[in-house]
């Protein structure tokens, strides 16, 4: 195989939930070499790395332990790379409030390190950065009402939040991810870097170590299965659209294959209106699926929480033809199957740490 035809991929945060699923997919293609760059700071991710080493194509997998805050380590990892999926991040709003400087160093400065490594590599690699719906803030101008057990948008023909929505970062986490988001866009414009931003909603699926701050669907399911109490912040009517991680990976590959037209673009990504549910509704689904009664505790809503967020994915569909294929039930069943096979290794509540982005 000619060297020029080989895809040489770097995944920052690649031992995590999204990163390990992405690596598995890429290794299934015979012309792809995968380099994972991760500091392994999150509980449980070492098992994802061990699992990847048992998958077909593992002879094309390389692991580099490193931190995105270290520009030299990032530059070294990016040598000879043709694609970068930048997933490493500090992912929790609560952690960003406690340690805003650390949050900035990982999310904003870490992303700048990745962009500089890409710019100076001589390869002009494709770069995909996973941003977050939190860059849109609390969406105070979106009119909502209560319908049954969920909030609904009081707008005719509402299809979700478009990319034209005004930015309103609203937390140290929103600021750091928003700053990184804008740097990626500008590097594409100024340096002609083929870079794309995904502003992601809730991503869920197998290999997810969930907790209250990140990966809430998995956290709820694991808590129900282990009969642990679940805290609901606010009334539980908050709505999110939920996307199976495999559908996310489909979208990643779609923008890569359409990179000539997607370069420099921002895309909102989530399950859309057809895969949206409130916290209470997801808990009801989980209870029905598992047959487990839920031990629920209510407390005050968290500052800046969006009562309703659904991504309008029209732009991505138009640009690439991508559409999600998995249902909410598919997503829950996939997480449950993962739990059954690895429950002795899944942390009950992994502390937020340096990991790939999941809103």
- For 260, what's the count of Cα atoms within 13 Å in the CB-facing half-sphere? 0
Q: Determine the distance from the C-alpha atom of residue 58 to the mean position of all C-alpha atoms in its chain, rounded to a whole number.
A: 24
Among all chains, which residue has been given the structure tokens 């199976």? 244
Q: 10 Å Cβ neighbour count for 208?
A: 31
- Cα separation, 276 vs 274, whole angstroms: 6
Q: Which stretches of 246-315 are assigned E, i.e. beta strand?
A: 266-269, 276-278, 296-299, 308-309
237 is a catalytic site residue? no
Cβ–Cβ under 8 Å, residues 310 and 201? yes
Label the pairing between strands 88-90 and 354-356.
antiparallel
Given a contact cutoff of 8 angstroms between Cβ atoms, the answer to whether 356 and 16 are in contact is yes
Scanning the structure block, which residue is given the tokens 């990179």? 259
Which strand (E) or helix (H) includes residue 132? strand 126-132
Closest CA to 128 of 184, 71, 72: 184
List the one residue out of 359, 336, 357 whose CA is nearest residue 42.
357
What is the Cα–Cα distance from 219 to 248, expressed in whole angstroms? 19
Residue position matching structure tokens 């694991």: 222
Q: From the candidates 85, 136, 151, 173, give the one annotated as an active-site residue.
A: 173
C-alpha 250/C-alpha 84 separation (Å) is 16
Structural contact between residues 121 and 347, judged by C-beta atoms closer than 8 angstroms? no
The Cα 32–Cα 25 span in angstroms is: 10
Give the residue numbers marked as catalytic. 173
């Amino acid at each position: 195989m000619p060297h020029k035809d080989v895809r040489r991929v770097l995944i920052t945060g690649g031992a995590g939930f999204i990163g390990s699923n992405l690596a598995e997919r890429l290794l299934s293609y015979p012309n792809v070499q995968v380099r994972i760059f991760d500091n392994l700071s999150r509980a449980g991710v070492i098992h994802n790395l061990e699992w990847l080493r048992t998958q077909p194509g593992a002879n094309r997998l390389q692991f580099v332990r490193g931190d995105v805050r270290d520009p030299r380590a990032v530059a070294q990892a990016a040598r000879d790379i043709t694609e970068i999926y930048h997933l490493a991040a500090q992912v929790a709003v609560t952690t960003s409030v406690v340690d805003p400087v650390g949050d900035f160093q990982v999310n904003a400065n870490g992303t700048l390190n990745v962009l500089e490594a890409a710019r100076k590599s001589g390869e002009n690699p494709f770069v995909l950065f996973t941003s977050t719906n939190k860059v849109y803030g609390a969406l105070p101008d979106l009119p909502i009402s209560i319908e049954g057990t969920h909030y609904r948008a009081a707008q005719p023909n509402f299809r979700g939040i478009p990319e034209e929505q005004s930015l309103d970062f609203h937390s140290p986490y929103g600021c750091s991810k928003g700053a990184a988001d804008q740097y990626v866009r500008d590097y594409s414009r100024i340096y002609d870097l083929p870079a794309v931003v995904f502003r992601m909603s809730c991503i869920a699926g197998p290999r997810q170590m969930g907790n209250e701050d990140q990966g809430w669907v998995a956290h709820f399911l694991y808590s129900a299965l282990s009969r642990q109490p679940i805290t609901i912040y606010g009334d539980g009517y908050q709505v999110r659209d939920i996307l199976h991680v495999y559908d996310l990976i489909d979208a990643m590959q779609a923008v890569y294959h359409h990179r000539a037209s997607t370069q420099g673009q921002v895309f909102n990504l989530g399950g859309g209106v057809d895969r949206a549910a409130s916290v209470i509704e997801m808990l009801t689904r989980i209870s029905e699926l598992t047959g487990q009664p839920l031990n629920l505790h209510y407390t005050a809503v968290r500052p800046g929480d969006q009562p309703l967020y659904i991504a309008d994915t029209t732009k991505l569909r138009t640009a690439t033809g991508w559409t999600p294929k998995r249902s909410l039930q598919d997503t829950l069943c996939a997480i449950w199957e993962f739990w059954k096979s690895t429950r002795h290794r899944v942390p009950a509540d992994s502390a937020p740490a340096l990991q790939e982005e999941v809103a």
